[in-house]
Chain A
Amino acid sequence: GQSLEQPSEVTAVEGAIVQINCTYQTSGFYGLSWYQQHDGGAPTFLSYNALDGLEETGRFSSFLSRSDSYGYLLLQELQMKDSASYFCAVRQTDSWGKLQFGAGTQVVVTP
């Protein structure tokens, strides 16, 4: 099996940079995904890392290091609208189709 660990909450001011770590224990997976969820809303896909390294999508970047068993989501130039929960997720190799999410990190952006 696998488990993904994320910090429960991060607080930062507008314009700052926030890094959300996701550490995992796994026997194998197909890559690391990140999702954003605003209060009461549907999660939306942000990024996917199939290989080690950094993927950049505008103000958001995601990183994966399989050798270190961790990844992170980097939020730059924080805006108030970035206040949301962020989830990492992996699709297991030993159970094709199964998808597992971390418990989520609540990001609070203050003025």
Chain B
Amino acid sequence: EAQVTQNPRYLITVTGKKLTVTCSQNMNHEYMSWYRQDPGLGLRQIYYSMNVEVTDKGDVPEGYKVSRKEKRNFPLILESPSPNQTSLYFCASSLSSQGGQPQHFGDGTRLSIL
């Protein structure tokens, strides 16, 4: 089954404790992206990757890191999480970055930073 898989689905942690949210897709997609969703703000792009070893900042990259060493994986790293990073996070992938290519989203990771 074609899918984007995120782990963990839920995480409660404390300020300053490094964490990684994994994202994997099995559709051989070139484009991958991370979003955070907060009430009233919609989906805001954190980072995106056009292909292996090619990453770039979205609209809200501060406090996050990503890497794209393999085509299928695009982990999101919070080196020193803070309470303002408490949010619902989505990973997504698409065949390419062409305008009309639909984004396929993972089920989301609900992150609480205390």
A43–B99 contact, CB under 8 A? no
Interface mask (B29-47 → A, CB under 8 Å = 1, otherwise 0):
0010101000011111100
A91 cross-chain contacts in B, Cβ below 8 A: 97, 99
| Interface residue tally on B, bucketed by range | 20 to 34
Q: Does A111 contact B (CB under 8 A)?
A: no
Q: Are B43 and A87 touching (Cβ within 8 A)? A: yes
Closest to B43 in A: A101
Q: Which of A33, A50, A96, A102 contacts B102 (CB 8 A)?
A: A33
- Choose among B31, B43, B90 the residue with the greatest number of A CB atoms under 10 Å from its CB: B43
Q: Is B106 an interface residue (CB 8 A)?
A: yes
Q: A99-B48, A101-B42 are contacts. A43–B102 as well, Cβ < 8 Å? A: no
In contact, A42 and B97 (Cβ under 8 angstroms): no
Contact flags A93-111 to B (C-beta < 8 A → 1, else 0): 0011111111110000000
Instruction: List A contacts of B90 (CB < 8 A).
Output: 42-43
Query: Least Cβ distance of A37 to chain B in Å?
Result: 9
15 intermolecular pairs with C-beta atoms under 8 Å apart:
A30-B98, A31-B99, A33-B102, A41-B108, A42-B108, A43-B103, A50-B100, A87-B42, A87-B43, A91-B99, A99-B33, A99-B48, A100-B45, A101-B35, A103-B40
Residues of B within 8 A of A (CB): 31, 33, 35, 40-45, 48, 50, 56, 58-59, 90, 92, 97-100, 102-108
Interface residues of A (CB under 8 A from B): 8, 29-31, 33, 35, 40-45, 48, 50, 87, 89, 91, 95-104
3 smallest A-B Cβ distances: which pairs? A30-B99, A45-B102, A42-B105
